[in-house]
């Protein structure tokens, strides 16, 4: 085994994740009431999506080599972010990952011409992405017993911009060949319903939303804490 193969041998491909939609939850999220004349149509689309959908994830456990003031080094590669550095203060290892709803559902959604159907297909891809993330998390818990895990995603904060995608993809090897996810020149991922990041063991749950002042974000997971940048990360907004 050559050095590159050996260093990537801890990469795990999860590509046989079962995809089953919780129909009650999806109907509620789509604000469809019991008795709605849309239900049969939605069920037909869900049946198709469950047959076609193949959510996937790629994850690699990496020991932390070194830490500086505003960087951490994983497998010889320096990732520059003060927030990541502080969040990994106690961590000896981290889990680099990409999870995706999959190219199959993306291609299927593009065959739909009806606007409402495309909207539902979008929601179904989000369910698939969440399925992939949950499966990856379950794998990490069973395999590594990491305790409480938090995540950071490149591009969520100015402190760790989207350009860091290059580092994550390099640390994971052949992401496209393994799970079909590619990166555009502007560092966005295709399929769009994909997420990349680093999961790390932590004592206190962290989400980038705590440091993000953006208003009216539908995906916000925690309130913005204006003091946290300075108090914990010794950074000023
Ligand atoms: S508040 Fe919204 S934009 Fe900001 S980090 Fe959270 S999800 Fe991302």
- Residue 118 shares a structural domain with residue 107: yes
Kindly give the distance from the C-alpha atom of residue 151 to the centroid of ligand 1, in angstroms, as a whole number. Answer: 13
- Residue 139 shares a structural domain with residue 229: no
- What pTM value is reported for the model? 0.92
Mean pLDDT of 23-33: 94
Q: Which residues sit with their C-beta closer than 6 Å to ligand 1?
A: 156, 208-209, 212, 214, 217, 219-220
CB atoms within 10 A of CB 153: 18
- Residue 17 shares a structural domain with residue 120: yes
- Residue 166 shares a structural domain with residue 200: yes
Number of domains in the chain: 2
Name the band, by pLDDT with cuts 50, 70 and 90, for residue 85: very high
Asked if 162 and 155 count as a contact pair (C-beta separation under 8 A), the reply is yes
- Residue 132 shares a structural domain with residue 30: yes
1 pLDDT higher than 60: no
Distance from C-alpha of 53 to C-alpha of 47, rounded to nearest angstrom: 10
130 pLDDT higher than 50: yes
Q: Which of 14, 8, 233 is nearest to 143 (CA)?
A: 14
Q: Which of 36, 26, 140, 131 is nearest to 93 (CA)?
A: 140
Domain that holds residue 235: 207-237
pLDDT in tens, 142-185: 999 999 999 999 999 999 999 999 999 999 999 999 999 999 99
Which residue has its alpha carbon closest to ligand 1 atom 6? Answer: 209
pLDDT number for residue 129: 98
- Residue 187 shares a structural domain with residue 230: no
- Residue 217 shares a structural domain with residue 138: no
Q: What is the token pair recorded at 118?
A: 């495309």
CB atoms within 10 A of CB 67: 15
């Amino acid at each position: 085994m050559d050095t590159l193969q050996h260093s990537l041998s801890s990469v795990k491909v999860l590509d046989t994740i079962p995809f089953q939609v919780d129909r009650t939850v999806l109907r509620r999220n789509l604000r469809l009431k019991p008795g709605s004349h849309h239900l049969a149509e939605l069920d037909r689309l869900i049946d198709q999506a469950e047959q076609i959908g193949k959510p996937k994830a790629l994850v690699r456990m990496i020991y932390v080599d070194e830490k500086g003031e505003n960087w951490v080094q994983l497998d010889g590669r320096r990732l520059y972010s003060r927030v990541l550095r502080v969040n990994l203060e106690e961590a000896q290892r981290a889990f680099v990952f990409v999870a995706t709803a999959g190219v199959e559902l993306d291609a299927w959604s593009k065959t739909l011409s009806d606007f409402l159907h495309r909207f539902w297909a979008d929601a179904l891809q989000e369910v698939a992405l969440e399925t992939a993330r949950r499966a990856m998390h379950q794998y990490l818990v069973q395999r590594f017993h990491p305790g409480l895990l938090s995540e950071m995603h490149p591009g969520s904060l100015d402190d760790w911009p989207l350009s860091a995608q290059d580092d994550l993809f390099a640390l994971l090897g052949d992401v496209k060949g393994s799970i079909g996810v590619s990166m555009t020149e502007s560092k966005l991922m295709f399929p769009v319903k994909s997420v990349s990041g680093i999961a790390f063991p932590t004592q206190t749950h962290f989400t980038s939303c705590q440091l993000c002042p953006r208003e009216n974000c539908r995906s916000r997971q925690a309130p913005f804490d204006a003091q946290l940048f300075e108090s914990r990360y010794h950074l000023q907004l």
